[in-house]
Amino acid sequence: MNAKRSDLVVPALFGLGLGLVVFVLSVIGKNHFGPLDGLCNGSLEIEPHQGTGAIANCTLDTTLYSVSVYAYWAAIVVGVLSAAVFVIGLVVAPEKLATSNPPGAATKARRPATTRQAARARAPSPDAGRQHIRCSACNALNYANSGDVPCYACGAALQQS
């Protein structure tokens, strides 16, 4: 496997950018919906004289403030993890990354040899009668059932050996 530094650095930069965008939007959401949520005293403590529209507005403000808070902390976690992967991608040599994670070690489970052999024995090959026949005129290798077919390269009759 040919490991490259960009295999870690590019996704980490994407994660940092995404984390930054979510962080900025969540800070804007917290600053905007936080005071509105405070004016409502929470959506569960609505005064009896308020109408349905005020109740819906307070519920929406509380919900958006809560989502902003969760997005704020999620953006911090994603940013920290992406920064760690970025630093590891810059510091560790690509050769060490390739040896520490061999390709397909965890993803590809091999079947036992007896299962493969049994599967081969049960399924007849569609090319069971074919063989390799070399053309005597042009030395091209042909894959044919018999020697009475012409060579694919020069058209001469094939000689079975």
Taking only the tens place, the pLDDT of each residue in 60-82 is 888 888 899 999 999 999 999 99
89: tokens are 């991608």
83: tokens are 């920064």
In one-letter notation, the amino acid at residue 10 is V
147 and 95, same structural domain? Answer: no
In one-letter notation, the amino acid at residue 42 is G
Res 78: pLDDT: 92
CA distance 34 to 41: 11
134 and 95, same structural domain? Answer: no
The verdict on residue 110 lying in a domain is: no
Average pLDDT over residues 106-118: 57
134 and 91, same structural domain? Answer: no
Res 145: pLDDT: 73
In the chain, the number of structural domains is 2
The greatest distance separating any two alpha carbons of the chain, rounded to the nearest whole angstrom, comes to 103
148 and 94, same structural domain? Answer: no
3-state secondary structure of 97: helix
pLDDT exceeds 80 at position 154: yes
Q: Are 70 and 29 in contact (CB under 8 A)?
A: no
Mean pLDDT over the full length of the chain: 76
63 vs 117, higher pLDDT? 63
Backbone phi, psi, residue 81, to 5°:
-65, -40
In one-letter notation, the amino acid at residue 83 is A
Res 118: pLDDT: 57
The verdict on residue 114 lying in a domain is: no
CA distance 65 to 67: 5
135 and 67, same structural domain? Answer: no
Q: Which band of pLDDT confidence, cut at 50, 70 and 90, is reported for residue 12?
A: confident
The verdict on residue 107 lying in a domain is: no
Residue ranges making up the domain that contains 154: 130-161
pLDDT exceeds 70 at position 121: no
Among 72-76, 105-109, 117-121, top mean pLDDT goes to 72-76
The verdict on residue 16 lying in a domain is: yes
The verdict on residue 1 lying in a domain is: no
Res 134: pLDDT: 81
Q: Are 28 and 117 in contact (CB under 8 A)?
A: no
Helical ranges in 41-102 per DSSP H: 52-91, 94-100
Q: Are 102 and 117 in contact (CB under 8 A)?
A: no
72 and 29, same structural domain? Answer: yes
96 and 35, same structural domain? Answer: yes
